[in-house]
């Protein structure tokens, strides 16, 4: 199994340019997430999708939009990139179910984005 696949792995943008980060999982997971990680910091949640057809804002959503294209794919779009969005972006997924148990989250290998 590939798990969670992110593309591209590296990207350099000029200020004001737009781009879409792609994320796909092949584990039939219901929930998907986008995080960013700045140097020396923990991960901060940007947006998440609890299930197909739903999306919600996380801790730092400004400057981003998301699309849950289908159960497998969850994309993150930067409409007008700014230097403050230079970061490593991680996509994650998990299989959720009702009840008192849950499963681990699987993360992708990250997209390293630099905005100049």
Partner 1 sequence: DAKTTQPPSMDCAEGRAANLPCNHSTISGNEYVYWYRQIHSQGPQYIIHGLKNNETNEMASLIITEDRKSSTLILPHATLRDTAVYYCIVRVAGSGYALNFGKGTSLLVTP
CB 1 within 8 A of CB 105: no
What gap in Å lies between CA 97 and CA 91, rounded to an integer?
Answer: 20
Residue pointed to by tokens 């057809």: 53
CB 6 within 8 A of CB 21: yes
What gap in Å lies between CA 54 and CA 34, rounded to an integer?
Answer: 14
User: Is residue 99 close enough to count as binding partner 1 by CB under 8 A?
Assistant: yes
Q: How far is the CB of 10 from partner 1 (least distance, A)?
A: 12
Closer to partner 1 by Cβ: residue 10 or 14: 10
Closer to partner 1 by Cβ: residue 17 or 96: 96
CB 30 within 8 A of CB 49: no
What gap in Å lies between CA 15 and CA 5, rounded to an integer?
Answer: 26
User: Is residue 27 close enough to count as binding partner 1 by CB under 8 A?
Assistant: no
Segment 47 to 76, residues that bind partner 1, using CB under 8 A: 48-51, 54, 58-59
What gap in Å lies between CA 19 and CA 34, rounded to an integer?
Answer: 15
User: Is residue 31 close enough to count as binding partner 1 by CB under 8 A?
Assistant: yes
Q: Which stretch binds partner 1 (CB under 8 A): 15-23, 62-70, 71-79, 91-99?
A: 91-99
Closer to partner 1 by Cβ: residue 13 or 33: 33
Chain residues binding partner 1 by CB under 8 A are: 4, 30-31, 33, 35, 41-45, 48-51, 54, 58-59, 88, 90, 92, 96-102, 104-110
């Amino acid at each position: 199994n590939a798990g969670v696949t992110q593309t591209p792995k590296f990207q350099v943008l000029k200020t004001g340019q737009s781009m879409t980060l792609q994320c796909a999982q092949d584990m039939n997971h219901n929930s998907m997430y986008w995080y960013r990680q700045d140097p020396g910091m923990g991960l901060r949640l940007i947006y998440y999708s609890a299930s197909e057809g739903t999306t919600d804002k996380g801790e730092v959503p400004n400057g981003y939009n998301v699309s849950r294209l289908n159960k497998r794919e969850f994309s993150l779009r930067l409409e007008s990139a700014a230097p403050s969005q230079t970061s490593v972006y991680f996509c994650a997924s998990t299989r959720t179910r009702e009840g008192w148990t849950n499963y681990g989250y699987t993360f992708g290998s990250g997209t390293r984005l630099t905005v100049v």
